Chains A and B, each alone.
Chain A
């Protein structure tokens, strides 16, 4: 067991994926010599050569369109778009081409593309560097969406995403890149079955559902609540499409209360989907309406206001209190 940061774990996953399958290609802006602005691709070019790990011109649509053509030629592209807010120029390629080529060609052209996208806020970055696009991608038929919350998950989920025969949007919580954890990358991936969520902390009074960096926030909340004798269960969703509805329902059926926490704006966010999935499956068991604690319906704010925007421990605790104290009519 060695200790890895999320950034190192992702780097190791890319390295192992390149070793295991010589059709894997890593490319994007600054992924070569620099090793990526977050160093996730560090050292890969030296190891696998500039034909398999290469820098691209600064052109997001070009990067994603090139990935489509490479997939059609039988390669397994792992493109990076440097920051969440800069993938909008590539949305046409992602939605109209990456997500649809398999469908359009009636299964002739597989699109085993993994788009790595440093995502979400929490690092007080400039404008366009802190977006939460999971709902946008999850809404598109043909795409799968994944977000890890820890180094071990980062490693295994990225391996799964690259091995997946369908296009996967891989959202890396950039505020967690430097969080460290000990894990064994040689441990079998069956310990983390594809498409499943994970109970990160068991509890019995309510379930907190989160993904990416908000999992850590929820664990912090669970610690605080425990001081008052409230045992919160924390579920890390991991796969944002398809969502592990059965796993979610299992947890909420036991705790009978749920709070969904995400960084994205409230309206039409993924919290609405999660909340509905829970309600559909656990209506009889629920003791209170599913609560949502999210970002606000505002553009991602500047650094000095970021802490006001992101779900704070206090806001989550308030929602927990609300669900615990809820009384019908």
Chain B
């Protein structure tokens, strides 16, 4: 990997980390009602998403993919608006961003990636889908069905599992039978690879290889990126009840960002810090300036063509405002 590319990965990781910290601060200040921290998973998220070709690929996130959004250059205020309870899926234009709406169903979007990949294959766009899920979600039926479909139809999909060690409080050992998530790939006729999820370059290379293979008609790949959620599952979770500080400390020492920084000249790291500070300031300002959606939007987007019953309910609601 050339220096420019590596610098870009480091910058994105650092930015994801700073935004993540800012989001937690905003939650503690009562601005964000809740947040799902991504700290520690930056290499897995940034490294994989940076490998995408945004002119033809499409990514399917769940709810802990801030680093993916950063690497895909998604409008971060719009992305984080879901944590502000402004709009469930976030306010970004999913089609333009090539990132499906923020989704809290952990295994659900994995099947969508399979459908999208089939559509891209039928259209011969050369596009590939990547779908993000965790070790916990890998227990869900939808994920298994999706992998089987991808194998049967030989679809251009990358199943990107961030194995962060914990499904809220349940460790991977109690979650994943059969050794690993990557090992499951064989059962579906897919490639399975395990990668050091805290090594951003390794993640990037593995994902790029999987995407190339997908485009060449070689089928889907399961990538299991071994990483660690350094923070809690969400801002209302207490990891002290289920894991040890020693464990957290050990993983802190493998911090993906510090690791990447060691490969860069100090001046570049300082420049990345400065850039991150600047963007964080903008994002913070943008979030604080976000206003609630107009109340009329309560009835919007339920249908493309609203039903008469819904229009009637909207009319009654409007009348109640006038009383």
Is B217 an interface position by the 8 A CB rule? Answer: no
Set of chain A residues within 8 Å of B100, measured between Cβ atoms: 72, 105, 109
* Main SS class of interface, B: helix
- CB <8 Å contact, B141 and A61: yes
In residues 109-158 of chain A, which contact B (Cβ within 8 Å)?
A: 109-110, 112, 141-142, 144
Number of contacting residues on A, CB 8 A? 48
* Chain B residues whose CB sits within 8 angstroms of the CB of A65 once the complex forms: 108, 110-112, 114-115, 142, 145-146
Q: Report if B2 contacts A (CB, 8 A).
A: no
Does B202 belong to the interface (CB within 8 Å)?
A: no
User: Is B309 located at the chain interface by the 8 A CB criterion?
Assistant: yes
Nearest opposing residue in chain A for B96, CB measure: A108
Selected from B129, B148, B302, the residue in CB contact (under 8 A) with A142 is B302
1/0 per position for A298-309, CB-CB distance to B under 8 A? Answer: 000000000000
C-alpha gap A61/B107 in the complex (Å): 10
The segment from A6-14, A89-97, A254-262 that touches chain B is: A89-97
Known contacts A105-B89, A242-B307; is-contact A66 B101 (Cβ 8 Å): no
* Bound form: Cα–Cα A104–B109 in Å: 13
The interface-forming segment of B7-15, B118-126, B159-167, B229-237 is: B118-126
Known: A59-B145, A61-B141, A107-B300. A72 touches B108 (CB 8 A): no
Residues of B near A166 (CB, < 8 A) are 303-305
Q: B88 contacts the other chain (Cβ, under 8 Å)? A: yes
Contact of B145 among A61, A100, A106, A165 (CB under 8 A): A61
User: Which of B88, B102, B149, B303 contacts A59 (CB under 8 A)?
Assistant: B149
* Chain A facing B: main interface SS: mixed
Q: Is the Cβ of A103 less than 8 Å from the Cβ of B302?
A: yes
User: Restricting to B290-323, which residues have a CB under 8 Å from any CB of A?
Assistant: 300-305, 307-310
Chain B interface bracket (under 10, 10 to 19, 20 to 34, 35 or more): 35 or more
B45 CB, nearest partner CB in chain A, Å: 21
Complex CA distance for A73 and B108, rounded to whole angstroms: 17
CB contact between A70 and one of B58, B91, B93, B115 (< 8 Å): that residue:
B115
**In whole angstroms, what is the CA distance A71 to B60 when docked?**
14
Interface residues of B (CB under 8 A from A): 58, 60, 87-89, 91, 93-95, 100-103, 105, 108-120, 122-123, 129, 141-142, 145-146, 148-149, 152, 300-305, 307-310
25 A-B pairs, CB-CB below 8 angstroms?
A62-B111, A65-B110, A65-B115, A65-B142, A66-B114, A68-B115, A69-B119, A69-B129, A72-B116, A74-B119, A74-B123, A92-B105, A102-B301, A102-B302, A102-B303, A106-B300, A107-B301, A108-B95, A110-B304, A112-B304, A142-B302, A144-B307, A166-B305, A242-B307, A243-B309
